[in-house]
Amino acid sequence: MGQVDLDRNSNTEKGPLAGITVVDLSSVVVGPTCTLTLADHGAEVIKVEAPDGDLMRTLGGGARNPGMTGKFMNFNRNKRSICINLKTEEGIALLKKILAKADVLVTNMRLGALQKLGLDYASLQEVNPQLIYCQILAFGRGGTYFNRPAYDTVIQSSAGVSATFEKSSGEPRFVPLVMGDHITGLVSAQTIGFALYRRTKTNLGELIEIPMFETMAAFVLREHMGNMTFEPGIGPIGDARVLDKNNRPVKTADGYISISPNTDGQAFAFFDAIGRPELKQDPRFNSVINRTKNSVEYYEIRSGSLGSKTSAQWIEIFEQIDIPCMRYNSLEDLLEDPHIQSVNFLQQTNHPTEGLIREIGLTNNFSGGNRQGFIPAPRLGENTIEILQEFGASEEEIEQALSTRTIVQQSN
């Protein structure tokens, strides 16, 4: 694992979004996931925080210093923080000074609060008609649930994610990561890219609304609507293979592995490997269609056949006969995974205030160049004054705002 010093003054003029300025008026995970994606690919992201800061500064687990949890840092690198009290007219005016020159605004604030502050899309169109305004909603406009508050767990439960666990194991559960936030945040970044492309042709901004509920419901139903795609339905809802209780890592003599023999060639090679060659002629398992129809029995065979050898032995066997398989990683194992290490996915970096940390690398590459020169996650309000100066605030305005605590500048 290589070691790199994080420099707040590094060159950031690379990456496909270089030159794009994003104002991040969001918090916790869904919005910061979106803006992290934009920042990691070259955008200049200005994170707007209230005097109390993003909730993830304290909610996200352990920290060496107050307000700088590891989870907060993982979602907020490559951003600068400006701390503004938006409950004041002066604070709103300063933020609008920035928004007048920005390319993108990302927010997950509720519509009523934005309208009250004069930060809704209609109001900001007058300030900057080229602004791409991305509003992440819990539920879509015009629907029964519109304007209700929600967190990831509420969305997982209502959008059918928890129901997949009930179908599989008999008990509704949450995915133990904020999957709805991650997915919706990535979809938001994607749609911003589409809007920026359209702006190159129209020279106009637009409003993008990304509802978490509908986004996650679409993921679930594309996977599981299946037989109910037809009117009337031609069978029960849900992909039985994916929902099978034995669709999980398989127990070996010393741990677990994952294995997916899906094609006929892979399944037949698997039957040979486990010493059950007769299953190749079994009418339940002799074709993809029949294995699908009898997925419960097929998964039972898979789940109960690997206890005689170690994970390493099975992986060696399956690799030789070209069956997709992989080691099972615990969370701790993942940090030391040989592939993770060989692609330098985790780097040791020196954060200016938080010391030695693990930095997660980019997961994709552009032949035209990736962003170079990452900057560390900021302390609350660390960049307040420099950002206001860059966007044309006078020294008198800044001094006045500091004196009334409309803005906060983190001291060194």
- Give 64-99 pLDDT, tens digit per residue: 999 999 999 999 999 999 999 999 999 999 999 999
Q: CB of 47 within 8 A of CB of 76? A: yes
pLDDT at 61: 81
Is 2's pLDDT higher than 80?
no
- Give 174-207 pLDDT, tens digit per residue: 999 999 999 999 999 999 999 999 999 999 999 9
Domains in the chain with CATH codes: 3-220+350-408 (3.40.50.10540), 250-327 (3.30.1540.10)
**Helices 30-40 + 179-202 axis angle, to 10:** 50
Amino acid at 11: N
pLDDT at 338: 95
- Give 221-271 pLDDT, tens digit per residue: 999 999 999 999 999 999 999 999 999 999 999 999 999 999 999 999 999
- The whole-angstrom separation of Cα 191 and Cα 184 is 10
- The whole-angstrom separation of Cα 390 and Cα 114 is 25
Q: What integer best gives the mean pLDDT of the chain?
A: 94
Q: CB of 40 within 8 A of CB of 186? A: no
- Give 113-153 pLDDT, tens digit per residue: 999 999 999 999 999 999 999 999 999 999 999 989 999 99
pLDDT at 8: 46
pLDDT at 366: 92
Is 6's pLDDT higher than 80?
no
- The whole-angstrom separation of Cα 281 and Cα 260 is 20
pLDDT at 411: 64
- Give 20-43 pLDDT, tens digit per residue: 999 999 999 999 999 999 999 999
pLDDT at 5: 47
- The whole-angstrom separation of Cα 297 and Cα 289 is 14
pLDDT at 4: 42
CA end-to-end span of the chain, whole Å? 30
Higher pLDDT: 217 or 3? It is: 217
pLDDT at 322: 95
Please give the model's pTM, rounded to 2 decimal places.
Answer: 0.92
CA angle, 292 as apex, 288 and 298 as ends, to 5°? Answer: 95
- The whole-angstrom separation of Cα 292 and Cα 299 is 10
In angstroms and rounded to an integer, the radius of gyration of the C-alpha atoms of the chain is 25
- Give 348-375 pLDDT, tens digit per residue: 999 999 999 999 999 999 999 999 889 9
Q: CB of 113 within 8 A of CB of 123? A: no
- Confidence class for position 14, pLDDT limits 50, 70, 90: confident
Closest CA to 217 of 168, 150, 163: 163
- The whole-angstrom separation of Cα 195 and Cα 133 is 9
Beta bridge partners of 22: 45, 104
- The whole-angstrom separation of Cα 105 and Cα 35 is 10
Closest CA to 381 of 408, 400, 405, 351: 408
Is 1's pLDDT higher than 60?
no
